[in-house]
Amino acid sequence: MILCPMPRTVLVVDDDPHIRQLLVFALQKAGLDTIEAADGEAGLELAGVHGPNLVILDINMPRMDGLEVCRRLRAAGAPGGGDVPILFLSSRDDEIDRVLGIELGADDYVVKPFSPREVVARVMAILRRTSARPPAIEDGRDLEHGRLRLDLDGWRALWGDAEVTLTVTEFSILRLLASMPAKVFSRDAIIDRLHGPGFAITDRTIDSHIRNLRHKFAAIGCADLIDTRPGIGYRLGTCTGG
């Protein structure tokens, strides 16, 4: 197993002590620091205190479920939340739950029962995207297209002078599209660029992230952020505000 090259803290929130123990052991073996909580309220409090680099959230929990914890973490100004990457765990293999989790701002989703190695692989993939430097071809410069500007070093998306808060996955997708604005990317190509070939994630998950991006930019006047090419995929829109 490849060890994490620098300290990273993962918050594991699950009411099942066996699952917490299993995940904590696997994550620590991969070189990650961990903290854990047995319910949603405790998890939300720990996120505010410790500011973890990633949160693993069970959906079905007492006192406060994972969906509500995600909502509060994603709320503007939430301590320890904001754009922290979130990975959902759930025993419900239901596409509605999966899509809802993504639409609330989760970066990935794993269904129980799962392999600890799979969870660690997904965590590491998300953390790599969080800490990765832009490709050398971009030469550290911002990406600009129309009124859209991506601050690659600061992981910030701006529409004119207004900053748009994005999750790690949302920013990564937008950066990919903006790096080659004339290119149409299939859903599989987007998954491969973000996670690597063969990574198990559904097309609907990418659609949900695209929908989130459109919604966030539409709220500040951008109705042409991303174009859909039916049967093919997505490419960056004109980004002029039309």
**Where does 136-236 sit in CATH, by number?**
1.10.10.10
Write the pLDDT tens digit of every residue in 36-75. 999 999 999 999 888 899 999 998 888 888 888 988 888 7
Strands 143-145 and 148-151: antiparallel
Distance, C-alpha 100 to centroid of its chain: 14
The phi-psi region of residue 111 (left if phi > 0; otherwise alpha if psi is between -120 and 50; otherwise beta) is: beta
Q: What are phi and psi of 51, to 5 degrees?
A: 55, 60
In the chain, domain spans: 9-131, 136-236
Q: What is the mean pLDDT of residues 204-225?
A: 89
pLDDT at position 38, please? 93
Which of 142 and 1 is assigned the larger pLDDT?
142
Span of 10-19, 81-90, 157-166 with lowest mean pLDDT? 81-90
pLDDT at position 62, please? 81
Q: What is the mean pLDDT of residues 119-129?
A: 86
- HSE at residue 206, side-chain half, CA atoms within 13 A, is 26
pLDDT at position 138, please? 44
Does position 140 have pLDDT exceeding 60, yes or no? no
Q: What is the mean pLDDT of residues 162-184?
A: 89
* pLDDT-based confidence at residue 80 (cuts at 50, 70, 90): low
Which residues are within 8 A (CB) of 224 and not within 5 positions of it... i.e. 6 or more apart? 237, 238, 239, 240, 241, 242
Span of 27-36, 142-151, 159-168, 190-199 with lowest mean pLDDT? 190-199
* pLDDT-based confidence at residue 79 (cuts at 50, 70, 90): low
Could you tell me the pTM of the whole model? 0.60
* CATH architecture designation of domain 9-131: 3-Layer(aba) Sandwich (3.40)
> Do 9-131 and 136-236 fold alike per CATH?
no
* pLDDT-based confidence at residue 23 (cuts at 50, 70, 90): very high
pLDDT at position 84, please? 85
Burial of 69 (0-12, 13-18, 19+ CB in 10 A): buried
Q: What is the mean pLDDT of residues 123-128?
A: 85
Write the pLDDT tens digit of every residue in 178-209. 999 989 998 888 877 776 544 445 557 788 88
